[in-house]
Every structure is written in C-alpha cells, then in structure tokens.
C-alpha cells in the first residue's frame, strides 16, 4: 500500500529545489510517500546490518525512513518517484528469491536513472549458472544485453574495459551450453603476447610458459565447474585451453594428397578459392590456408591398409560402437587423443565416416564404353602382336562386349576363347585398323599384358556411371562374390598388375566402399598346370577383398548378381587401426566450406580441420593481428558459437601492428548473425575504484589525443616505444 501527500507551501519550501524550475514547479514540491512491505521482504530489502538502506540513503536524494514494515519517503516529487521505483524493483528481486546486495542497489538505481525500458528486477534475476550455492547472472543492463546477444547470435564481440565481466559471462554461457548439450566441447584461447620477455627464454616446459597467459580462463573455469571434473574433461578433449597460435595446429604435411575435382593434389599447393571433395562427394571451396611451420607428424592407419599423415592435434570425426548403437553424431578427436586408446577388448574403438555418396568428377568424353573397357582389362588380350581377343566361360559377357563396341564381331575359337574381329563390308580396304586396337592405342593400352594393364585416367576421374561401369566389367570378368556361412557376401578381385590393383582400389573407394589388399608372392608358389604341363607363376598376384555401400551394384553378369543379392553386401566400415610417429615435417592447415567440415585426403580417408558443435571463446582479442583474427573466425564450424572479448584501449601488439579486434569492428558490423556488444565503465563489477580509474584514463587519453600520432592511439606498446625514443 502506498500513500502520498504534499508537505508545506511550495512557494516557501526550500527542500530539493530543482534546477530550471526556480523552486515553483511541481517537481519542486516536497511530498511524502509511504510504502508497506510484506513482512518476509523487510529483511532482504534492508540487507545485513541495514547495508542496503545505507546505500539507498547515500545514492538517493529522497529521505528514507523505515519503521517496521513501512517505508516513508520524503523529498521532491521527482526524487520520491525515483525512490519508489527503486524500492519496487528491489522488493521484486526479493520476490524472486534473490539476495539484494548494495551492488544490486547501485545497479538498479543506475538503470532507472538512465531511463531504460527493461525492468532492473528482470535484468538482475536472470540466472546463467549455479554451482554450490553461487549463482552467476548479469549485474548490469549492458551485461544482460551481452548475454542475450550470445543466445541470439553465432558470433558475438564483447568489447569493454577491464572488470566488466566480458570473459566471465562468456565462460558461464559456454559451461551452460555444454551442460545442456547444446555443444560437445569448449575451446578457450587467447593470444600469447610477450610482455617484455621472450617465451623461449622463460624457464619451464612449454605448458609452464604459456599457462600464465591462460590463467584467467582457468580461474573462471574452476569457479563454474567441479575442479575434479576439469582434468578429466580436458584429457577427453571436451575442454581445450590453448594459446591462439595453437588453434591453427590441425595440419597435414605439405606433400599430403587431398582429393580435388581434377584429381589428388598436395595440400601445400592449395589456395583459397580452390575446391576439394567433401564427405558428400561434392566439391567444396577452400576458405582458408594457414601455414603451420614444422610440426610433429603421425601416420594414421586404418584396418583396410589405408593411411594418411597428420599432425598430433589434427582433428578426426569418429564414431564409437555406442555412438552407432544410440544414433549419436560423430565425435571430434585429435590424433594424439586416440594414441594408446584404439582398442576396446577385441574390437577397434574408433570408426571413421565414409563417403556419403560417390565422389563427383567432371564428365569426360571416353572412346570406349566403360563396361567394355572393364571386360577387356579383366580378360582381354591387347598385346598388339595378334588380333585382340577375349576369354570367358560366360557367353553372356561375350555378347555384352560385342554389343558395347560398334564395328566388331566376336568369333568363337574354343569353349572360352573369342577373337575380336572388325566387321568388314565388301570393297573395304583390308588395312583399316581394328576398332578395339585403335582405341587401345589412343588410351595407351596397346601392348600391355596382364601385369601392366591399368585404368586410363579419363575413366578414373569421370562421372560415377563411368567409374562404376569399369568396375563392373572388371568384377564380371576377373572378380566374383564370395560367400561365408553366417556372414554377408564380400567381393573378390585378383590381378597380377600392380597398377591395376591401385586403380581398382581407387574405383572402390571413390564409390564409397572399402577394399583390403593382400599379395601372393610368385616365388616359391606351387606351379599351375596347362595342358598337363607345370607353369611357373611369373608375377605376384594381388587379391582385393571389396565391400561396397548399399545402392552400388557390383555385377551385371546374371549369375554373380544373383548370388550377391541373395546374401547382401553388408555395410563397409573403416576403423583406425594404429597411429605411428614419423618425425617432423612442414605442415599446413586448410578450412573448407562443407557443412560438416570434412574433406577427402589420401586413400579417400575423411578428415577435417574446423570446429563443429563447439563453444569457442577468444579472450584478450585486442592483441590479435588482423591475420590471426581472420584465421580464428574462419575456423567456425557448424553448430558452433564464438565469443570474442577484448579492450581496444589496451593493445600490446609490438611493431606498429594494428589490432585485429579493431579491424573486425570496422569490417564485420553489417554481417547478419555477428553482434558487437559494448560495455562501459558503468558495467564494471569489480571494486568501485576500477570504474573510476577507467573513466580517469579515458578522460586523460581523450584530452591528450592530439599530442599522439593517430596510429599510436590505443597501443600501449607503441607509446612506450615512442617514450623511450624521446628519452634518447
């Protein structure tokens, strides 16, 4: 209940005469107002030892008197009205079961005197995180807007002086996002600017050298999580704390091949704007290329014999058995996190994703039907010393070959041998080339034998139907389904050509399958028998076991297709088998535009470099260079959130370098989903002197700005250097 009345004659009252009304306006009249508090709200409102009441009396012009649960306000109408609103908001806070402190009193008065539309009670009662009785919440209106911006935007820049809670609130939102499973990991980073000492000359290990730069992040983290849980989460890669330079370190050696729409290329040759093949088989643009210098490199092997090179902190998208069983998305682990942890009982722990669809290459014109080429590579004779021929036990294949190549006729010589003749017309010149040999010469296959055959490049890097046609021809002629009781059907292919072996592996993997290869050495093998005579093996035999994904038909030959369909092809799977150190090499990191950030590297292994489903905080961002800031922001992956914090008045970059945070605030202001939140000295939540110090320095720098070169403004390192030069 509230009552209000006028006291005295306004023409003679001197209490609180407002400027501009000459003591005669309504605002100058002395009034009295009475507010009745609920009994349970009195003590929380007054505070321990009446500290809240004393703070109100100090900051408000109205006189405040409390008796029992009645609060009486006396003063000018405007002052009493403000005091009423302040008390209403503080009482509302007690109704939200919030502890009212002198600090809350100050912030409530500050918000109301600024005339903001938001309710101070709502601002000060927004809980972010609670732990062991301590609740983290915004304490000022700007902090509330900052927190709301983090919820509403993917990238948020929090810019303001020290003590405004920029990093602390961002950390609280990160922990909240992890606990509510909005993200799967937290990454905390800041630039390690050397304050007068070179890192290399500081004592201790590398971690001991960089820990002082990261200490504020560690401290905030320990405030918000159980200290016992933090080492476990860091060991599991759920929380990563690293200097900004180490954020780049997901790298591969310069010579490592990456698949592009035109074929494999060394990653060191790629540039921004180039395209690589993503996990969906489609080209994806390279958004960034970041040299890493020399790094410790490991070779990562899979159970099918494939391998590639990567740095110890390179990222891999992997599934565990539980992930697959529960339908969970892939988890992201570093190379070094998996070392020594690759097995669970008798099975492999980490499964790698495979191509979700066949790799897409540009269409190329080819001179021979792909299926016919596969048949000839499998069971054809193209030596050129005789008329080309074809050998098969299946007349169905002979018919298919004859139909696929115009201008030829297969003449049967024996139960399995066919001569490939050119169809002639009366009067034609007898020296016209056989169509098969003419095409073989064009493709470079003329003169090849069983141990030197290969798939021409125009067929390897072509549309899916072309690659599949070649593979079907090879499998129909020299391969077949292999059944085993209790297991799905696998496919086996055998060749004595090392190059053809590699080409078949390429075809299978480019279609999303996997292939195991083993070699039977010719030397020492039991001879074969031909017409009753022993025949020594001249070449090693390469046997390839193949698994293809559902929807990819490996056979056209009816009997093989029926057998394969009856038992099913199963699901191809690839697991990390072992990881071995190979030394140190110069490496590079790329960032691609694919939604899942994956790209195809050697042997069609899928790996990636950006960070998905992560909450990433870059602290002290004013000390990043423009290049570092661009690198950092372009590492953003899908499902991730970035918060960048910094104080543009405290730049420590040496050598005249311009702050990346300043440049970002000029370049990115008009981009949707990027928000710039500004905090001021009124948002300082440390000791009250901090706000006064910030304001004093601000005034001093503003007054002395003309005396400082424009490019020196805001850069303390440059000002110190200039001062030393003047003293000399």
CB 162 within 8 A of CB 650: yes
Question: Which residues have C-beta within 8 Å of that of residue 259, sequence separation ≥ 6?
Answer: 276, 277, 359, 599, 600, 601, 604
Question: Taking Cα atoms as reference points, which of 682, 615, 601 lies closest to residue 644?
Answer: 615
The secondary structure element, H or E, covering residue 130 is: strand 129-131
Token pair 């309504």 in the structure block, residue: 26
Looking at the domain assignment, is residue 502 inside a domain? yes
Report CA-CA distances (Å) from 296 to 24, 234, 516: 81, 21, 29
Looking at the domain assignment, is residue 365 inside a domain? no
HSE toward the beta carbon, residue 509, CA cutoff 13 A: 24
CATH of the domain at 443: 3.10.28.10
* Residue 705 predicted with pLDDT over 70: no
For residues 597 and 620, membership in a common domain is answered with: no
Helix/strand/coil for 267 = helix
CATH of the domain at 348: 2.170.16.10
The secondary structure element, H or E, covering residue 391 is: strand 389-391
pLDDT digit string (tens) for 306-315?
999 999 888 8
Question: Taking Cα atoms as reference points, which of 644, 481, 724, 634 lies closest to residue 153?
Answer: 644
Residue 237's pLDDT band (boundaries 50, 70, 90)? Answer: low
Chain center to CA of 69: 57
pLDDT value, residue 687: 62
Bridge partner list, 520: 541
Question: Taking Cα atoms as reference points, which of 309, 306, 275, 273 lies closest to residue 292?
Answer: 309
CATH of the domain at 681: 3.40.50.300
Highest mean pLDDT, choosing among 71-85, 429-443, 577-591, 636-650:
577-591
Cα gap 85→318, rounded to integer Å: 57
For residues 495 and 628, membership in a common domain is answered with: no
User: Inter-axis angle of helices 51-59 and 77-95, to 10 degrees?
Assistant: 150
Report CA-CA distances (Å) from 383 to 295, 376, 390, 535: 49, 12, 12, 20
pLDDT digit string (tens) for 154-167?
999 999 988 888 98
Bridge partner list, 134: 131
- Across the range 542-560, mean pLDDT stands at 94
CATH of the domain at 65: 3.30.1370.10
Count the neighbouring beta carbons within 10 Å of the beta carbon of residue 406: 10
- Mark out the alpha helices in 297-338 (DSSP H runs): 321-325, 335-338
- Across the range 35-52, mean pLDDT stands at 82
* Residue 228 predicted with pLDDT over 60: yes
Helix/strand/coil for 122 = helix
pLDDT value, residue 193: 54
Cα gap 670→645, rounded to integer Å: 19
pLDDT value, residue 390: 96
Cα gap 728→726, rounded to integer Å: 5
Copy the structure tokens of residue 26.
């309504």
Cα gap 360→281, rounded to integer Å: 5
For residues 70 and 10, membership in a common domain is answered with: yes
For residues 620 and 641, membership in a common domain is answered with: yes
Given 68, 102, 125, which residue is the final one in a domain? 125
Across 370-379, 675-684, 717-726, least confident range: 717-726
Higher pLDDT, 135 or 177: 177
pLDDT value, residue 513: 95
Cα gap 586→592, rounded to integer Å: 20
Highest mean pLDDT, choosing among 112-121, 399-408, 522-531:
399-408
Cα torsion angle, 654, 656, 659, 662, sign:
positive
For residues 24 and 151, membership in a common domain is answered with: no
Indicate the pairing of strand 674-678 with strand 155-159: parallel
**In the sheet that 541-547 helps form, which strands lie side by side, from edge to edge?**
479-484, 487-495, 541-547, 514-520
Residue 194's pLDDT band (boundaries 50, 70, 90)? Answer: very low
* Residue 129 predicted with pLDDT over 90: no
For residues 603 and 634, membership in a common domain is answered with: no
Cα gap 216→206, rounded to integer Å: 18
CB 371 within 8 A of CB 379: no
For residues 434 and 555, membership in a common domain is answered with: yes
Question: Which residues have C-beta within 8 Å of that of residue 581, sequence separation ≥ 6?
Answer: 296, 297, 298
Cα gap 664→633, rounded to integer Å: 10
Looking at the domain assignment, is residue 164 inside a domain? yes
Total-model pTM:
0.66
Looking at the domain assignment, is residue 349 inside a domain? yes
Looking at the domain assignment, is residue 182 inside a domain? yes
Count the neighbouring beta carbons within 10 Å of the beta carbon of residue 675: 21
For residues 461 and 547, membership in a common domain is answered with: yes
Across 283-292, 507-516, 554-563, least confident range: 283-292
Question: Which residues have C-beta within 8 Å of that of residue 202, sequence separation ≥ 6?
Answer: 208, 209
How many domains is the chain built from? 4
Report CA-CA distances (Å) from 515 to 436, 482, 498, 649: 30, 14, 15, 59
CB 607 within 8 A of CB 316: yes
For residues 512 and 634, membership in a common domain is answered with: no
For residues 140 and 121, membership in a common domain is answered with: no
Q: What is the CA radius of gyration of the chain?
A: 38
Report CA-CA distances (Å) from 67 to 34, 39, 71: 11, 12, 7
Q: Which domain covers residue 673, as residue numbers?
A: 136-246+613-712
Looking at the domain assignment, is residue 482 inside a domain? yes
* Residue 610 predicted with pLDDT over 90: no
Question: Taking Cα atoms as reference points, which of 470, 472, 492 lies closest to residue 481?
Answer: 492
pLDDT value, residue 210: 56
For residues 173 and 242, membership in a common domain is answered with: yes
| Percentage, residues of the chain above pLDDT 90 | 40
Report CA-CA distances (Å) from 647 to 123, 224, 642: 24, 24, 17
| Percentage, residues of the chain above pLDDT 70 | 83
pLDDT digit string (tens) for 409-445?
999 999 899 999 998 877 666 667 889 999 999 999 9
Looking at the domain assignment, is residue 530 inside a domain? no
Helix/strand/coil for 235 = helix
Chain center to CA of 337: 17
Higher pLDDT, 656 or 135: 135
Higher pLDDT, 474 or 647: 474
Cα gap 699→693, rounded to integer Å: 10
pLDDT value, residue 547: 94
CB 229 within 8 A of CB 282: no
pLDDT value, residue 262: 93
pLDDT digit string (tens) for 504-522?
999 999 999 999 999 998 8
Looking at the domain assignment, is residue 723 inside a domain? no
Higher pLDDT, 628 or 271: 271
Cα gap 538→333, rounded to integer Å: 46
- Across the range 351-355, mean pLDDT stands at 93
For residues 168 and 185, membership in a common domain is answered with: yes
């Amino acid at each position: 209940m509230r009552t209000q009345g006028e006291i005295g004659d306004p023409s003679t009252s001197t209490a609180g005469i407002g400027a501009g009304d000459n003591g005669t306006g309504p605002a100058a009249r002395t009034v009295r107002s009475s507010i009745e508090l609920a009994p349970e709200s009195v003590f929380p409102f007054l505070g321990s030892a009446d500290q809240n009441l004393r703070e109100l009396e100090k900051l408000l012009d109205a006189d405040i008197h409390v008796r029992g649960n009645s609060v009486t306000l006396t003063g000018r109408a405007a002052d009493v009205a403000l005091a009423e609103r302040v008390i209403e908001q503080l009482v509302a806070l007690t109704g939200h079961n919030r502890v009212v402190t002198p600090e809350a009193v100050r912030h409530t008065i500050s918000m109301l005197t600024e005339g903001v539309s938001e309710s101070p009670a709502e601002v000060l009662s927004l809980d972010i995180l609670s732990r062991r009785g301590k609740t983290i919440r915004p304490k000022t209106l700007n902090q509330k807007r900052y927190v709301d911006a983090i919820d509403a935007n993917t990238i948020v820049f929090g810019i303001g002086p020290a003590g405004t809670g920029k990093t602390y609130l961002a950390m609280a939102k990160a922990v909240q996002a992890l606990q509510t499973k909005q993200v799967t990991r937290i990454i905390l980073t800041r630039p390690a600017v050397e304050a007068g000492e070179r890192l290399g000359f500081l004592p201790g290990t590398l971690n001991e050298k960089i820990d002082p730069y990261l200490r504020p992040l560690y401290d905030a983290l320990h405030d918000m999580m159980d200290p016992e849980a933090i080492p476990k989460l860091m060991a599991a890669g759920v929380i990563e704390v690293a200097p900004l330079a180490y954020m780049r370190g997901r790298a591969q050696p310069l010579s490592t091949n990456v698949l592009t729409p035109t074929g494999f290329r060394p990653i060191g040759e790629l540039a921004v704007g180039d395209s690589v093949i993503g996990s969906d088989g489609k080209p994806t643009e390279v958004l960034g290329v970041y040299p890493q210098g020399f790094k410790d490199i490991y070779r990562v092997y899979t159970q099918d014999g494939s391998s590639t090179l990567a740095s110890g902190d390179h990222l891999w998208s992997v599934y565990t058995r539980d992930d697959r069983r529960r339908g969970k998305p892939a988890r992201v682990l570093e190379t070094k996190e998996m070392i020594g942890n690759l097995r669970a009982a008798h099975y492999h722990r980490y499964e790698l994703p495979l191509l979700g669809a066949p790799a897409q290459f540009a269409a190329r014109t080819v001179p021979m039907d792909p299926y016919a080429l596969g048949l000839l590579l499998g069971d054809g004779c193209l030596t050129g010393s005789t008329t080309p021929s074809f050998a098969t036990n299946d007349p169905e294949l002979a018919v298919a070959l004859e139909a696929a190549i115009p201008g030829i006729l297969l003449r049967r010589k024996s139960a399995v041998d066919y001569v490939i003749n050119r169809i002639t017309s009366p009067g034609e010149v007898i020296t016209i080339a056989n169509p098969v040999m003419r095409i073989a010469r064009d493709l470079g296959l003329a003169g090849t034998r069983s141990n030197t055959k290969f798939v021409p490049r125009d067929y390897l890097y072509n549309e899916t139907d072309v690659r599949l046609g070649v593979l079907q021809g090879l499998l129909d002629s020299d391969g077949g389904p292999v059944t085993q009781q209790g297991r799905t059907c696998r496919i086996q292919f055998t060749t004595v050509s090392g190059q053809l072996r590699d080409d078949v592996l390429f075809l299978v993997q480019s279609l999303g399958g996997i292939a195991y290869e083993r070699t039977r050495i010719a030397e020492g093998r039991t001879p074969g028998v031909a017409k009753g005579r022993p025949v020594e093996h001249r070449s090693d035999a390469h046997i390839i076991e193949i698994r293809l994904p559902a929807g990819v038909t490996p056979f056209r030959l009816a009997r093989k297709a029926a057998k394969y369909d009856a038992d099913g092809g199963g699901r191809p799977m690839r697991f990390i088998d072992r990881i071995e150190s190979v030394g140190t090499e110069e490496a590079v990191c790329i960032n691609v535009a694919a939604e899942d950030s994956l790209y195809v590297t050697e042997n069609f292994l899928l790996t990636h470099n950006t960070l998905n489903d992560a909450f990433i905080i870059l602290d002290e961002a004013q000390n990043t260079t423009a290049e570092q800031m661009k690198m950092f922001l372009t590492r953003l992956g899908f499902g991730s959130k970035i918060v960048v914090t910094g104080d543009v008045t405290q730049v420590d970059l040496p050598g005249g370098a311009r702050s990346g945070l300043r440049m970002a605030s000029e370049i990115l202001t008009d981009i949707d989903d990027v928000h710039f939140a500004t905090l001021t000295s009124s948002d300082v939540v440390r000791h009250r002197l901090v706000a006064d110090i910030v304001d004093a320095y601000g005034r001093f720098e503003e007054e002395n700005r003309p005396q400082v070169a424009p490019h020196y403004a805001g850069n303390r390192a440059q000002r110190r250097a200039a001062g030393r030069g003047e003293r000399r």
